[in-house]
Amino acid sequence: MRPFHRLLSAILLAGLIVGSARAQSGPAKHPIRIEDLEKIVDVGDPTISPDGLWIAYTATTIDTEEDKRRTAVWIVGWDGKQNLRLTYGDESETSPQFSPDGKHLAFLSSRPGKAKGSQIWVMDHRGGEAWQFTDLKLKISSYRWSPSGRQILFLATPDEAAEKAAAASKDKPAPTSPPKPIVTDRYHFKQDGDGYLTAASRAHLYLYDTVSKKLDTLTTNTNFEEFAPAWSPDGKWIAFTSNRDADPDRTVTEDLFVLEPRPGAIPRKVATTRQPAAQTLKWSPDGRTLAFLEGPEARFNAYAVDSLASVSVLGGPILPLTHVLDRPVSHPSLVGSTLQFIASEDRREVVYQIPIQGGPLKRVTDSAFQLSSLTAGSGRTVVRASTDTTLAELYALENGKLRRLTAHNIHLTSEWELGAVDDLQFRSRDGTDIHGILIKPPGYTAGRKYPTILSIHGGPNGQDSHGLQGLDSALLSRQFLAGNGYVVLSINYRGSSGRGAEFTRAIASDWGHKEVEDLLAGVDSVIASGIADADRLGIGGWSYGGILTDYTIATDGRFKAAISGAGSANQLSMYGSDMYIVQYDNELGPPWRSPEAWMKVSYPFFKADKIHTPTLFLGGEKDFNVPIAGGEQMYQALRSLGVPTELVIYPGEYHGIKRPSFVRDRLERYLAWFDRYLKPSK
Arithmetic mean of pLDDT, 260-264: 95
> Is 671 a residue whose pLDDT tops 50?
yes
Q: For residue 199, count CB atoms less than 10 angstroms from its CB and return exposed for 0-12, middle for 13-18, buried for 19 or more.
A: middle
Q: Among 26-30, 166-170, 269-273, 626-630, name the one with the lowest average pLDDT.
A: 166-170
Arithmetic mean of pLDDT, 212-216: 95
Centroid of chain to Cα 233: 29
Q: What digits encode the pLDDT tens for the residues 526-546? A: 999 999 999 999 999 999 999
Centroid of chain to Cα 605: 30
> Letter for the amino acid at 213?
K
> Is 249 a residue whose pLDDT tops 80?
yes
CA dist 350 and 342 (Å) reads: 5
Q: What is the per-residue pLDDT for 19? A: 38
Q: 109 lies in a domain?
A: no
Q: CB of 120 within 8 A of CB of 102?
A: no
Domain count, the chain: 1
CA-wise closest residue to 302 among 460, 189, 187: 460
Q: 4 lies in a domain?
A: no
Beta strands in 20-130 (DSSP E): 42-48, 54-63, 68-77, 83-85, 93-98, 104-109, 119-124
Q: 597 lies in a domain?
A: yes
Q: What digits encode the pLDDT tens for the residues 329-380? A: 999 999 999 999 999 999 999 999 999 999 999 999 987 789 999 999 999 9
Q: 330 lies in a domain?
A: no
Q: Tally Cβ neighbours within 10 Å of residue 106.
A: 23
Q: Is the dihedral of CA 502, 504, 507, 509 positive or negative?
A: negative
CA dist 669 and 618 (Å) reads: 10
> Is 9 a residue whose pLDDT tops 80?
no
Q: CB of 382 within 8 A of CB of 55?
A: yes
Arithmetic mean of pLDDT, 472-494: 95
Arithmetic mean of pLDDT, 410-421: 96
> Is 165 a residue whose pLDDT tops 90?
no
Residue by residue, DSSP assigns 524-564 as HHHHHTT-EEEEEEEEEEETHHHHHHHHHHTT----SEEEE
**The total number of residues written for the chain in this structure:** 682
Q: Is the dihedral of CA 380, 381, 387, 391 positive or negative?
A: positive
Q: What is the per-residue pLDDT for 573? A: 96
Centroid of chain to Cα 435: 23
Q: Among 18-32, 346-360, 655-669, name the one with the lowest average pLDDT.
A: 18-32
Q: 547 lies in a domain?
A: yes
Q: CB of 578 within 8 A of CB of 628?
A: no
CA dist 105 and 125 (Å) reads: 5
Phi, psi of 341 (to 5 degrees): -160, 165
Q: What is the per-residue pLDDT for 175? A: 63
CA distances from 353 to 45, 254, 385 (A): 21, 24, 18
Q: Among 108-117, 179-188, 266-275, 487-496, name the one with the lowest average pLDDT.
A: 108-117
Arithmetic mean of pLDDT, 447-469: 94
Host domain of residue 453:
418-678
The CATH number given to whatever domain includes residue 439 is 3.40.50.1820
Longest CA span, the chain: 97
Q: What is the CA radius of gyration of the chain?
A: 27
Q: What is the per-residue pLDDT for 161? A: 52
User: Which pLDDT band, with edges at 50, 70 and 90, does 25 fall under?
Assistant: low
Q: 96 lies in a domain?
A: no
User: Which pLDDT band, with edges at 50, 70 and 90, does 431 fall under?
Assistant: very high
Q: 627 lies in a domain?
A: yes
Q: Among 471-480, 528-537, 581-590, 626-635, name the one with the lowest average pLDDT.
A: 471-480
Q: 196 lies in a domain?
A: no
CA dist 397 and 340 (Å) reads: 11
The answer for residues whose C-beta is within 8 angstroms of residue 669's C-beta and 6 or more apart is 616, 618, 648
